[in-house]
Amino acid sequence: MNRTQALIELQNVSKRYRRRTAGSARDTYAMRSVNLAIRPGEVVALVGESGSGKSTTGAIIAGLETPTSGSVVFVGDTLPSRLSGDRLKDYRRRVQIIFQDPFSSLNPVHTIGYHLMRPLLIHKVAASRAVALQAAEGLLEAVGLQPAANYLRKMPHQLSGGQRQRVGIARVLATNPELLVADEPTSMLDVSLRLDIMNLLLDLRDKRQLGMLYITHDLSGAHYMADRIMVMYRGMIVEEGLSGVLLSSPSHPYTQILMNALTRDITGLEDIPSPVDTQSAEQGCSFASRCPHRMAVCVSELPDWATVAEGHRVNCHLYSCSS
Amino acid sequence: MSAASPSSTPAQGAFRKFRERNSRILPNIKARIGVGLLLAFVLLAVLAPVISPYSPTYTGFSLGASPSPAHLLGTTRSGQDILSQLIWGTRPSLDVSLTTGSITMLVAVAIGILAGLLEGIIDEILMLATNIVLVLPSIVLVIVISSYISAASDVTISFIIALTSWPWGARVIRAQTLHLKSKDFVKAAIASGENHFRVAFFEILPNMFSLVAANFFFTCLYAVVTVASLQFLGLGNINAISWGSILYWANNSNALMIGAWWWFLPPGLAIGLLGAAFALINFGIDELTNPRLRREGP
Ligand SMILES: Nc1ncnc2c1ncn2[C@@H]1O[C@H](COP(=O)(O)OP(=O)(O)OP(=O)(O)O)[C@@H](O)[C@H]1O
Ligand code: SF4
Ligand SMILES: [Mg+2]
């Protein structure tokens, strides 16, 4: 295992959303006791169906949401439950997020130049507007939008989805972050553009030693991008391992179903709902209702983590029972 | 920075959006009529000293005369030229409605955005205040407050009306803020380190331009009618020349009973037309921004 200090570490993080509908409060656990670590220069993919809690995990890392319980450790420091002041600003500079939908991630009333100059000015990366302007051009070039000067004056609606996503990437690079959350950055793009964006991100990782959480529901994309893959189901991590190892021997029944869907080329995978509900997870395996290998112990006891190979762990009774 | 600066301040961005909207407002027939009417009144107010045949306060004409070439709308019982009063009366009527619209809009925007953005306890306090003001019978309140203040000035009246009419705007603006807040571009702005103030007024507000404008014109409409009603009832400053005070004196002199239509009809019509101008602009904005109301066609 890599011995360098983790950039970010989630320790037993749970996130509960309280939905208030006409008086009655309904709780949704979007994350349950999630443990996760990302090291500098490492890409960790978070894979799972729609509603499994991937974006919530990303939002917590990006500092847009706060955990209901558990702690977030950033470069060795346990963060307070609510960051504020200089510490918050510092965190915002060092941790950035790229969103899924390039059409809603840029403000329709601001120019591309404005989007890029703001982070530069907020974090005093650029001392003046003139310097910021210069730097903004450099950022556009770095993400392959040329001639950069032409783009600065444009409004978001004048760009294509791929160009917008590049602007989104240029913006997060403005503050020279150490950690990047990429929340399904290619899923809304044409297939022909996806590889370009993935290569751009990998290139940046190589050049800047960025740590990255790459969120996706596409296992092949995860394989291409990530050093490690974590599989999430109903707010819980059910399997994790080095990309090659995990994909060559998927162990958790859920991962196996995801793999089968992939080889049979079932594209509608993300449409299978995996509702997270009030019922507490302490009542056995969360996948039990859909699992083809369900045993009696599965519905009564929470499975333990079992190591199936070097750097490959799975949270399932099939493995903890046999070992 | 040069005019061709590639970066834009939020004001420029909002202005650009305004221009884009504007090019869509003009083809809209309702808005066009509304803007035309409003401009006509503005022109009348500005050019009052030039157009007005006599001084509106001069009392030396024959008393209670019917319309004649010398006095197109006749004279009052105290010998003033009614047409001159009507023309000069445009100014305060326009003033008070635009002032009220502005104050109300500012309060509604500030409270609506803050409540939507901050949530939690601050939101709850703000919304409690909103709901309290919302259920108060506002016209009664306005009448009561202004009758306590003898000869309340127009600005005072504006404030009183604004005090009771901001909640409608605040509620829709809060709802829209909640909606916009969930958009990725707002999250992205927060993630890049923008503070609450910048997020509220530079990211969210420019995206609510039409909502704010519609609220503004609606309040102007409400103010025109309310102020006229107050003055008709003899509240506010009835000695200043305004459409409402013309109506007050007409009523006081039994103009209706003696059939002096040239005295009470023109100011009533003016109030109605200015109100219609605001209403038409408001409808126009609604139609342009609410796709369900937008008509098919070129
Ligand atoms: N702000 C919120 N309020 C209430 N519930 C929420 C909120 N955000 C997410 N949830 C719920 O939490 C669960 C996890 O959502 P999340 O967006 O993290 O899933 P996801 O894995 O990113 O899914 P997708 O692939 O569709 O993006 C879902 O059931 C969702 O409805
Ligand atoms: S613990 Fe049991 S139910 Fe859960 S995935 Fe493993 S075998 Fe299936
Ligand atoms: Mg998501």
Distance of alpha carbon B103 from alpha carbon B216, whole angstroms: 9
Q: Measure in Å the smallest separation between the Cα of A170 and chain B Cα atoms.
A: 12
Contact A251, A303 (CB under 8 A): no
Please report residues of A whose CB lies closer than 8 A to that of B186: 107
Torsion angle of alpha carbons B190, B196, B200, B204, nearest 10°? 10
Q: How far is A130 from chain B (nearest CA, A)?
A: 9
pLDDT on residue B8 = 52
Would you call A119 and B192 a contact, using CB atoms and an 8 Å cutoff? yes
Which atom in ligand 1 lies closest to the alpha carbon of residue A19? 4
Minimal CA separation from B207 to chain A, in Å:
7
Cα→Cα distances A184→A97, A265, B134, B274, Å:
11, 19, 44, 53
Which residue's CA is minimally distant from atom 4 of ligand 1?
Answer: A17
Q: Long-range pairs for A153-160 at CB < 8 Å and ≥24 separation?
A: A153/A111, A153/A112, A153/A113, A153/B6, A154/A111, A154/A112, A155/A108, A155/A110, A155/A111, A155/A112, A155/B16, A156/A103, A156/A106, A156/A107, A156/A108, A156/A110, A156/A112, A156/A115, A157/A108, A159/A112
Instruction: Give me the tens of pLDDT residue by residue for chain B, a chain 298 residues long.
Output: 344 444 456 566 666 666 666 555 555 788 889 999 999 999 998 988 888 877 777 777 777 667 777 777 777 777 788 888 888 889 988 988 999 999 999 999 998 998 898 877 878 887 888 888 878 777 787 888 877 876 667 788 888 888 888 888 888 899 999 999 999 999 999 999 999 899 999 999 999 988 898 889 988 988 888 888 888 888 877 778 888 888 887 777 777 777 777 778 888 888 899 999 988 888 888 777 665 554 443 3
Determine if ligand 2 sits within 6 Å of the CB of residue A164: no
One DSSP character per residue, B209-249 reads HHHHHHHHHHHHHHHHHHHHHHHHTT-S-TTS--HHHHHHH
Q: Which residues pair with A31 in a beta bridge?
A: A15
Residue having the nearest C-alpha atom to atom 18 of ligand 1: A53
Instruction: Please indicate whether, in this complex, the C-beta atoms of A118 and B203 are within 8 angstroms of each other.
Output: no
Confidence (pLDDT) at B61: 72
Q: Would you state the structure tokens that stand for residue B27, as one six-digit string?
A: 């083809």
Pocket flag, ligand 2, residue A306 (CB < 6 Å): no
Q: What is the pLDDT of residue A216?
A: 93
Measured from the Cα of A287, ligand 2's closest atom is: 4
pLDDT of amino acid B3: 41
pLDDT in tens, A102-149: 889 999 999 999 999 999 999 999 889 999 999 999 999 988 898 888
Closest CB to B192: pick one of A92, A132, A155.
Answer: A92
* Cβ separation A64–B6 shorter than 8 A: no
Q: Is the pTM of this model over 0.90?
A: no
* pLDDT for B1: 37
User: Largest Cα–Cα distance in chain B?
Assistant: 74
Q: Is A250 left (phi over 0), alpha (psi -120 to 50) or beta?
A: beta
pLDDT in tens, chain A (323 residues): 445 789 999 999 999 998 766 666 678 899 999 999 999 999 999 999 899 999 999 999 999 999 999 999 999 999 998 888 899 999 999 999 999 998 899 999 999 999 999 999 999 998 899 999 999 999 999 888 988 889 999 999 999 988 999 999 999 999 999 999 999 998 888 888 888 889 989 998 999 899 999 999 888 889 999 999 999 999 999 999 999 999 999 999 999 988 887 666 544 444 444 444 444 445 788 888 888 888 888 888 889 999 998 889 999 999 875 44
A177 lines ligand 2 (CB under 6 A): no
CA-based torsion, B254, B259, B262, B267: positive or negative: positive
Distance CA A183, CA A56 (A): 10
What is the distance between the alpha carbons of residues B2 and A312, in angstroms, rounded to a whole number? 59
Closest-approaching ligand to the CA atom of A232: 1
DSSP state of B99: H
Residues 192-221, chain B, touching A (beta carbon < 8 A): 192-194, 203, 206-207
What does the alpha-carbon distance between residue A38 and residue A55 come to, in Å, rounded to a whole number?
16
Tell whether ligand 1 has an atom less than 6 A from the beta carbon of residue A48: yes
Cβ contact A11:A71 at 8 Å: yes
pLDDT of B22: 59
Q: Which among A157, A65, A74, A213 has a CA at the least distance from the CA of B187?
A: A65
Instruction: Give the model's pLDDT for residue B36.
Output: 92
**Ligand that lies nearest to the alpha carbon of residue A300, given by its number in the listed order:** 2
Q: Whose CA is nearest to atom 26 of ligand 1?
A: A50
- Residue B9: closest C-alpha in chain A: A114
